[in-house]
Amino acid sequence: MAFAEIVRAASAAAPDLTLSNEPGSLQFTLFADDRGLAYRVDHLDHGAATPVLERSPLGLTRTDTELTDGLTFVSATVATVVEDNYTLTSGKRLKIRARGVERTFTWRNAKGVRLDLTVRAYPDGVAFRYGLPGQSSQLLQISGEATGFKFPAGGRVWAQPYSKVDVWAPGYEADYVNGVPVGTAAPTAEGWALPLLAQVNNLWVLITETALEPSYFGAHLEPRAEGGLYRVRLPEAAETYGVAPQAASITLPWNSPWRVIIVANRAGGIAESTLVTDLARPAEFADTSWIEPGVASWSWWSDMGSPRDYAKLALSVDAAAKFGWRYTLLDLGWPEMVGGDIRQLVAHAKDRGVNLIVWYNSGGKHNQVPEAGPRDLLTDPLGRDAEFARISALGIKGIKVDFMQSDKQYVIALYHDILRDAARHHLVVDFHGCTIPRGWQRTHPNLLSMEAVRGGEQYWDKTFAENAQTFNSIYVFTRNAIGPMDYTPGVFSDVTTPNSQREPHLTTNAHELALLVVFESGLQHVIDAAASLVTLPEYVQDYFRGLPAAWDETRILAGAPGELAVVARRRGDMWYLAGINGEKTAKTIRVPLSFLGGPAAATLITDGATPREFAQRSFTAQPGDQLEINLAARGGFASRLRRK
């Protein structure tokens, strides 16, 4: 059915409770009957409907009224086109044109309270959000959601358990499950974290949320999923140690975050989607000329005492300068620096064309991490503004904020406050020990990255290290698909274990090199020490030079979670092509180069004779070529191709 016919059908029927996207490939259908308010999503192909999500519940619980059942349909708007052209400062694609179709459906409950459900359908997915209209400053509380996502039987799921609350958690750092059956219960009582990826009926489906504002909490999913129904769960009551309530306090009018359902016929389509930022609120400020994505050197992982040592920090700055990287990160303890001070280090870095980013414990009573300072400077608005003014005047260009560790409304508001105040002082931001991206990189363009992943700095954990190649291939299609991911890649030297032993990492060095492109992050922190990086072959060091951290175009050429990921990213006239083997057995892959559009001068770096060695060759690549690459177990490759 043509889009014009869909619109006419929506206008003529009463009530018509459906919305289809413009290609006519996805249909969202609402139900309001004695079983309550619900929806389903179908994939349409030549008139045949395949379930993406079966009948799934909707609704909200306010402490003063119930908005889940007993609802009377009031009205529905006609389908209208929603078009948005916007530019990001960093990401998988910088210039984006988003075009969708929208309808708003309205119900009232027995008390006359109105509930709006706004639905949008895009070529790559559908999304919905709740709205409570009106005008009131009276505080109302939302204490629950009926929202669920019911997958058809027989599919598989890739997801991360939501962590039990402790000193270091939740921080979205648990190990992902790899393709468990739909309906499998979470291994923790706290449930499943977002995003959740499923393969059902030969389709790939990713569930997440976006446009999360200070007026709500971040959601995750209940631990039990009987019959494939994954229900929304509030933040855990124990989060923030009693500082903040579990429920959300709102005033009217109010909108929830968008519940996002991305649908693709290949796993790569999930990773290429920009739906999370398409639905996010536009940028709060227009002048982004001062925001610079980039690669950063980082001394802490290889030497945890280095942030307190001027000479060691200066070496990290020098490494960044050698490779043309934009930043050096000063991690916890930097105010205690000896042998020099922050003013001297800023001057040293400026002379070499390098900017500094400094670490903060988010502090306050919402976290109990007993780390070195600086701490307790970011929760008080006046103190935070004074601190940002101070470091900006020194010439600091960014902040890394650690240990947020809650999705309660109080902490969600703190994220937004930090981002707004940092922007006023021209500081870019990286969050660690934090929640997942929820479209904020569009609303706050100075947000360049977020952790929310078990990354390279945790190779000391033998269980994680043993399976890192698998997790890395899963991340491409899950965590990194929804926004920038500060994984801290690039482990080329040995790892220090908890008993202070040095052991080799299990991924190959070519795998580690590939991660610098396979993973997208507006701040790409390279984890290894300067002394290690400069011992790598000159052609590897040359690959480091000028490495982008923002991309004009991204294509996922091959792969599936737990198996393989091959990613091509373009910056200007240069393509970066990289891939990782997600398995413990060697394999040979063939990568089509049709994306090139013309001949290109290519350099290819692959696995060498041993896991620590590389191999390299240069050649002229043609768009009709297929590049044959032998991947070692846990291996990888990285290539640079410049159009002639």
Residue 277: both structure tokens together: 């930022």
Residue 485: both structure tokens together: 């991911």
For residues 385 and 387, give the distance between their C-alpha atoms in angstroms, rounded to a whole number.
Answer: 5
User: Strand pairing partners for 354?
Assistant: none
Q: Please say if 284 is a catalytic residue.
A: no
Distances (CA, A) of 171 to 139, 422, 451, 452: 29, 22, 8, 6
For residues 308 and 333, give the distance between their C-alpha atoms in angstroms, rounded to a whole number.
Answer: 6
Query: Other C-beta atoms within 10 Å of 338: how many?
Result: 9
**Directed axis angle between helix 381-394 and helix 409-424, to 10°?**
40
Residue 625: both structure tokens together: 């070529």
For residues 31 and 488, give the distance between their C-alpha atoms in angstroms, rounded to a whole number.
Answer: 45
Residue 177: both structure tokens together: 């499950």
- Give a three-class secondary structure readout of 77-88: CCCEEEEEEEEC
For residues 538 and 272, give the distance between their C-alpha atoms in angstroms, rounded to a whole number.
Answer: 32
Q: Please say if 503 is a catalytic residue.
A: no
Nearest to 82 by CA among 102, 112, 108: 102
Query: Other C-beta atoms within 10 Å of 499: how many?
Result: 6
Give the CB-side neighbour count of residue 612, counting CA atoms within 13 A. 10
Q: Judging by beta carbons within 10 Å of its beta carbon (0-12, 13-18, 19+), is residue 288 exposed, middle or buried?
A: middle
Q: Are the C-beta atoms of 110 and 70 separated by less than 8 Å? A: yes
Give the active site residue among 209, 278, 402, 451: 402
Q: Judging by beta carbons within 10 Å of its beta carbon (0-12, 13-18, 19+), is residue 255 exposed, middle or buried?
A: middle
Query: Other C-beta atoms within 10 Å of 154: how many?
Result: 12
Query: Other C-beta atoms within 10 Å of 141: how many?
Result: 15
* Omega before residue 245 within 30° of 0, cis: no
For residues 468 and 556, give the distance between their C-alpha atoms in angstroms, rounded to a whole number.
Answer: 20
Give the active site residue among 457, 512, 520, 607: 457
What DSSP string runs through 473-521? HHHHHTGGGGS---------SPEEPTTS-EE--SS-HHHHHHHHHHS--
Q: Are the C-beta atoms of 114 and 74 separated by less than 8 Å? A: yes
255: left (phi over 0), alpha (psi -120 to 50) or beta: beta
Residue 345, φ and ψ in degrees, nearest 5: -70, -40
Q: Catalytic positions, please? A: 402, 457
